[in-house]
Chains A and B, each alone.
Chain A
Amino acid sequence: MNEIILTPKEQPSVPLELLNVNPDTVAGKSIDEIRQIKIAHGNTEVELSEFFNVKGESSENPSEIRIVIDGDVYNTKRIGYGMQSGEILVKGNASMYVGTEMKGGKIVVEGNVGSWAGRDMEGGELIIMGNAGDYVGSAYRGDWRGMSGGKITVHGNAGNEIGEYMLGGKIEVKGNATTLAGIHMNGGVLVIHGDATTRVGGEMMNGTIIVKGRIDEFLPGFKYHGIEKNIEIDGEVIDSSFYKFEGDFAVKGCGGIVYANASKNGHIVP
């Protein structure tokens, strides 16, 4: 693996967008050429080197490139946009749209990220060690065709409406999620290890949501199917007892499944 190390200088108050800095676009470029890649700074364009020190070694083959952002880039958006192969490691926080439209490869963010992480993701792996904002693995605003593949893991907490209009792939949140996790979900798997406040699976058509913690307030559009033990999802067995629900009957033709941990959710069972 060849590493290209981008050390952030000061983060500007107007956001940066690393739309075209990923292993696929830097492959075959010299370090000097990478320094000159134009990135968006608000409504103007600047060279990458204006906000990052660039060193390391590139490769002809994008899958042999790891881009390391060596510091906090809390005001830098669209890291790994549309990425197909290789790796990106962010050793700090990142702003919105990490891994948006990602098709392959791997992104690891050691800190927290803003909203829309993994929006419209098709493949690859996105790992966030800290917290994520709203709309993790969702669809583009307005669209009804969201994340279709790949895997997102958030080790901290996530915000509202994660997995919105999800069609496939897997999202795993190790911490808690807030309102409307899996809204309009139409496929794929969403696992929340912590609590999931309210309205899990609102208007979901299909797919599976597993909540290992507590659902404070559940929607009325779900049919209760009893207790299920040691459920198997994607070949993986989760050994606990779960209340099984089907819904959301607020939409016609629904067939989504919500599993809620039986030891914490007695209050939502009819």
Chain B
Amino acid sequence: MEYIIKNGNVFDPANNINGEKIDICISNGKIVEAVKDSAKVIDASNKIVMPGGVDLHTHIAGGKVNLGRLLRPEDSKDFYESKVGNKRSGSGFSVPSTFMTGYQYARMGYTTAMEAAMPPIMAKHTHEEFLDTPLLDKGAYDLLGNNWFVMEYLKEGNLDECAAFVAWLIRVTKGYAIKIVNPGGTEAWGWGGNVQGINDPVPYFDITGAEIIKGLGKVNEMIGLPHSIHLHCNDLGQPGNYETTLKSFDLLKNIEANPKYGERDTSLHATHVQFHSYGGTSWRDFESEAPAIADYVNKNDHIVIDVGQVTLDETTTMTADGPMEYDLHKLTGFKWANVDIELETGSGVVPFIYSPKSPVSGVQWAIGMELFLLTNDVNKVVLTTDHPNAGPFIRYPTVIAWLLSNKYRTDLIENSLHPWVQKKTSVATIDREYSLYEIAQTTRSAAAKVLGLSETKGHLGVGADADIAIYSFDPETQDPSTEYHAIEEAFARAKYVFKDGEIIVKDGEVVKPEGYGRTFWIDSQYDSELENKVVEDVKIKFKKYYSINFDSYRVHDEYIRKSSPIKLS
């Protein structure tokens, strides 16, 4: 099927197109130069046309997501959708079921979403949930920051062995990137503790967070992965943690990006930085240090961040940062689930209420906004809510509207949020508003580039996958700064969404629910001889310590519906 999208106001930052009226031609799932006269015409006049959204940090599949569903039946009480035709039913506000996850992303014009935390031993579970997550292209990051093998290789200074191990592990688990969560801290949690900052040694392994971050940063570039290391810093959510955050950022400063695929030029992706930009010494004198963080990002070129914007909802927190979740449970008294994941990581789940009236929640909201608004180059700051940790992804349209409208933010600050927001942060003094071009950067092109997927994702040039969102908002006659509810509604329910050249959403409703996207994974081998040696070592540990057999570890092709390996030469 061929289509031509006519007369739309196109926002395609990767190709420097800023609202111009350009026709987009689609053939065989790709964007092409021209189509035949028989191509179906889609009239996009008075509408916004953007590439499909790319979410590079979300929790939508796997062990802890499912644990969240189990822990929170009440999350599904008032939020569900029924079966309509081939569209499946589903439920869950902050932890939606798999099918509904796909439909909800699609309705907002998002077509790619990356699961940001996959324990390698849970890879099969993650991919099984992907099997039931329709419409989206997806991938999953392997948790490696508390892995026994990684810590031992790095401790001994065996970077080559470590690279051989990591490349093998990502290949057999069909993962996409190296994820580091509270490096050393989750292992310390296995001993009932945590680590403070980046220089606190891990029990038994006697290695520090700094050594893990730097070591895996080097390993990432030795393998040449498309994405940089994806770092959840130490001390998440603790007042005064911004110093740890800045020190962590600096560890990667002199490591050169060396992707064997894609156009990434940075060596660090720091995730949900909102949770890591806190000043003060306790919750009483808690304040924003987002300006210091944004200043660092502005002055350094080796880093991209995503925000983890608080959306002021009741949500579910879930992370491999086990000790942090325990602290949160003790702080709130809310129910808590905890899992130890053998030699690899751990996880915790706790519900949380970000109340607009709460001083801390208000400041957290403001810190997220400051990070967006004080970072000069939007290519360095990606829109996320760390779904569902700071809020569910279905709130992206609201976050977009906040960024586009100072008035919307001011109304909220003055009428709904706690006075701490004006006292402890600078957000009320910032009148910057994102342009629609910058929205396309923070939700599309910047994410695609840092993932290494910018050849086919996040842009509308010839050769790109025909993943396209069309929104009912006329940038020529309407001003998002004043009509913020209209833009919010437009981004919540796209007029049309194309996925691989097929219409999957029309008028905000899913019309092709049975479609399935790709699973991206990295097919690489660092050094075949070294890998054989490393795998022998792994097999011994498996027999000794793992609860599953070595042969059950590998994720077989049957677990992937539409496999899209990226082979690194």
Task: Report A's interface with B, CB cutoff 8 A.
Answer: 139-144, 251-253
Decide yes or no whether B284 CB sits under 8 A from chain A: no
Q: In the bound complex, do residue A144 and residue B77 qualify as a contact, i.e. CB atoms below 8 Å apart? A: no
Report Cα–Cα, A141/B76, bound state, in Å.
10
Across the two chains, which residue of chain A brings its CB closest to B82?
A: A43
* B-side contacts of A139, CB under 8 Å: 74
Decide yes or no whether B335 CB sits under 8 A from chain A: yes
Q: In the bound complex, do residue B74 and residue A141 qualify as a contact, i.e. CB atoms below 8 Å apart? A: yes
Question: CB-defined interface of B66-82 with A at 8 Å, one 1/0 digit per residue?
Answer: 00000111110100000
What is the interface of chain A mostly: helix, strand, loop, or mixed? loop
* A-side contacts of B72, CB under 8 Å: 142
Decide yes or no whether B550 CB sits under 8 A from chain A: no
Report Cα–Cα, A188/B244, bound state, in Å.
46
Decide yes or no whether B334 CB sits under 8 A from chain A: yes
Report Cα–Cα, A252/B72, bound state, in Å.
22
Of the four ranges (under 10, 10 to 19, 20 to 34, 35 or more), the interface on chain B belongs to under 10
Decide yes or no whether B85 CB sits under 8 A from chain A: no
Q: In the bound complex, do residue A142 and residue B333 qualify as a contact, i.e. CB atoms below 8 Å apart? A: no
* B-side contacts of A252, CB under 8 Å: 333
Report Cα–Cα, A139/B74, bound state, in Å.
9
* A-side contacts of B77, CB under 8 Å: 140, 143
Report Cα–Cα, A15/B507, bound state, in Å.
36
Report Cα–Cα, A7/B372, bound state, in Å.
63
**A-B pairs with CB below 8 Å: how many?**
18
Q: In the bound complex, do residue B73 and residue A142 qualify as a contact, i.e. CB atoms below 8 Å apart? A: yes
Question: Closest Cβ of chain A: how far from B445's Cβ, in Å?
Answer: 40
Q: In the bound complex, do residue A144 and residue B335 qualify as a contact, i.e. CB atoms below 8 Å apart? A: yes
Q: In the bound complex, do residue A143 and residue B74 qualify as a contact, i.e. CB atoms below 8 Å apart? A: yes
Known: A140-B74, A252-B333, A253-B333. 15 other contacts (CB 8 A): A139-B74, A140-B73, A140-B77, A141-B73, A141-B74, A142-B71, A142-B72, A142-B73, A142-B74, A142-B75, A143-B74, A143-B77, A144-B334, A144-B335, A251-B333
Report Cα–Cα, A249/B33, bound state, in Å.
72
Question: CB-defined interface of B219-248 with A at 8 Å, one 1/0 digit per residue?
Answer: 000000000000000000000000000000
Across the two chains, which residue of chain A brings its CB closest to B89?
A: A43
Q: Can you name 18 A-B pairs with beta carbons within 8 Å?
A: A139-B74, A140-B73, A140-B74, A140-B77, A141-B73, A141-B74, A142-B71, A142-B72, A142-B73, A142-B74, A142-B75, A143-B74, A143-B77, A144-B334, A144-B335, A251-B333, A252-B333, A253-B333
* B-side contacts of A143, CB under 8 Å: 74, 77
| Chain B stretch 41-92: residues in CB contact (< 8 A) with chain A | 71-75, 77
Report Cα–Cα, A252/B331, bound state, in Å.
11
Across the two chains, which residue of chain A brings its CB closest to B83?
A: A43
* A-side contacts of B74, CB under 8 Å: 139-143
Question: Closest Cβ of chain B: how far from A37's Cβ, in Å?
Answer: 19
* B-side contacts of A142, CB under 8 Å: 71-75
Report Cα–Cα, A140/B91, bound state, in Å.
15
Report Cα–Cα, A80/B302, bound state, in Å.
62
Pairs of residues from A and B, 3 with the lowest C-beta to C-beta distance, nearest first: A142-B73, A143-B74, A142-B74
* A-side contacts of B334, CB under 8 Å: 144
Report Cα–Cα, A253/B77, bound state, in Å.
29
